[in-house]
Amino acid sequence: MCDEAVFVRDGTQHVRVQVNDILYIEADDNSAHLHTTQRSYTVPRMLKDILDELPAGRLERVHRSYAVNLECVKAISDNGLHVGERWLPIGRHFKGQVMTKLRLL
């Protein structure tokens, strides 16, 4: 059985991207950048619309400009998350819900 996947435009074709491979999504005006374990894709849709299309609970909104695959978080600091090689901010509005889902000890 294949994991859940979405198709993302890459030049003249659409390629299959496994949802588990998405590290984070970054909003950029009316488009978004999907950053995966292999590469990044630019999608001409708003972050909210992309999250509505993905399977529920797979990525969590952590900031008005970022959604993160919580399974890929390597470390947490007071105001951010380390995902892959990037540090991403946690918005005040999202912090409580994110910290609850990360299962801190």
Residue type, 18: Q
Helix residue ranges per DSSP H, 1-105: 47-53, 92-101
Domain extent listing, the chain? 5-101
Helices (H) and strands (E) in the chain, counts: 2, 10
Phi, psi (deg, nearest 5) at residue 40: -115, 150
Bridge-based pairing of strands 60-63 and 66-68 is antiparallel
pLDDT in tens, 12-66: 999 999 999 999 999 998 999 999 999 999 999 999 999 998 887 789 999 999 9
Q: Are 70 and 99 in contact (CB under 8 A)?
A: no
**What is the structure's pLDDT at 1?**
42
The CATH number of the domain covering residues in 5-101: 2.40.50.1020
pLDDT in tens, 59-103: 999 999 999 999 999 999 888 999 988 999 999 999 988 888 887
Instruction: Give the three-class secondary structure for 84.
Output: coil
Q: Which two tokens stand for residue 84?
A: 């892959």
